[in-house]
A = this chain, B = another copy of it.
């Protein structure tokens, strides 16, 4: 049975997302206390897989995950999972909304419910927890008097709370993106894949990012995310984290990565993996066919070449 590490405690959105995946739900789950710990355990082989939040998360400082992935660890993304975020106000049985004097939660979660809280609990005190799950646990154990927690339904169930109000987040359309990582290995292409890379730029000069993006535009490759980030050497040095549609097994993507590898001082590959979500008919076959026709043409040209008889050229 495979071992999968995640950021505990149980009852976080991370666990909720992980349990949407049948194979992960059936695995041995290993709770760790930080996202970098999850990546480190995965890279070092202590677990087979790691599961972390990457984007727009309510669940901890996602920058920490991203920076760990980009600068500190060498793991490869195996899959992405996107979860719609629903926040609830949850309290022990019998507690009514008018009883609530304190709201316990992880800062980003309470921040996302700021409008609802200002309207419904304008005078409640905000008490910090290290995660939404910890908030539910603390409230469930009675650690904070006259309190409710902000968290997900999974945590309410785990820690014996009832939902006083559901969907209290200010932006109900919010989603969080998680990734499953492994120490090595790339899943085979499915026809609707993403590839994630980090481009370290040669210098902070006008046009260098434009030149990088020209590589994608020239090949009609769609980008789904782009972010410049300081390289931890102060605010002036940047790299670019890029998600693109396609798989390294696709020839246009491979061509593009090859040329970027030539042009850039450093290019880090974070993985090619199935994209989350429902998908229309794949464009991949057509693009591959066009590439192969072009490759045959190049090969036919090269056969016209009078290669020198003797030397290795």
Could you tell me which A residues sit within 8 Å of B by CB distance?
33-37, 55-56, 60-64, 76, 82, 106-108, 111-112, 114, 126-130, 134, 171, 173-175, 177, 184-189, 204-207, 209-211, 213-230, 232-236, 238, 240, 248-249, 252, 254-255, 257-259, 261-263, 269, 272, 287, 290-291, 293-295, 297-298, 301-302, 304-308, 313
Assuming the A-B contacts A210-B216, A294-B258, A306-B185, are A130 and B128 also in contact, with contact meaning beta carbons closer than 8 angstroms in the complex? Answer: yes
Give the docked Cα–Cα distance between A127 and B221 (Å): 45
Q: Do A218 and B220 touch (CB < 8 A)?
A: no
Q: Would you list 15 pairs from A and B whose C-beta atoms are within 8 A, ordered by A residue? A: A55-B235, A56-B235, A61-B107, A107-B107, A107-B130, A173-B232, A175-B235, A206-B221, A207-B216, A210-B216, A214-B217, A219-B259, A255-B255, A257-B298, A262-B290
Q: Are B306 and A188 in contact (CB under 8 A)?
A: yes
* Majority SS at the chain A contact face: mixed
Whether B188 contacts A308 by the Cβ 8 Å rule is: yes
Q: What B residues does A76 contact at CB under 8 A?
A: 304
Is B214's CB under 8 angstroms from A218's CB? yes
In angstroms, Cα B205 to Cα A128, docked, is: 41
Cβ B293 vs Cβ A187 within 8 A:
no
Would B235 and A177 count as touching, CB distance under 8 A?
A: yes
- A64: min CB distance to chain B, Å: 5
Kindly provide the distance from the CB of A141 to the nearest chain B CB, expressed in whole angstroms: 15
Alpha-carbon separation in the docked complex, A61 to B291 (Å) = 38
Known: A209-B226, A218-B211. A294 touches B262 (CB 8 A): yes
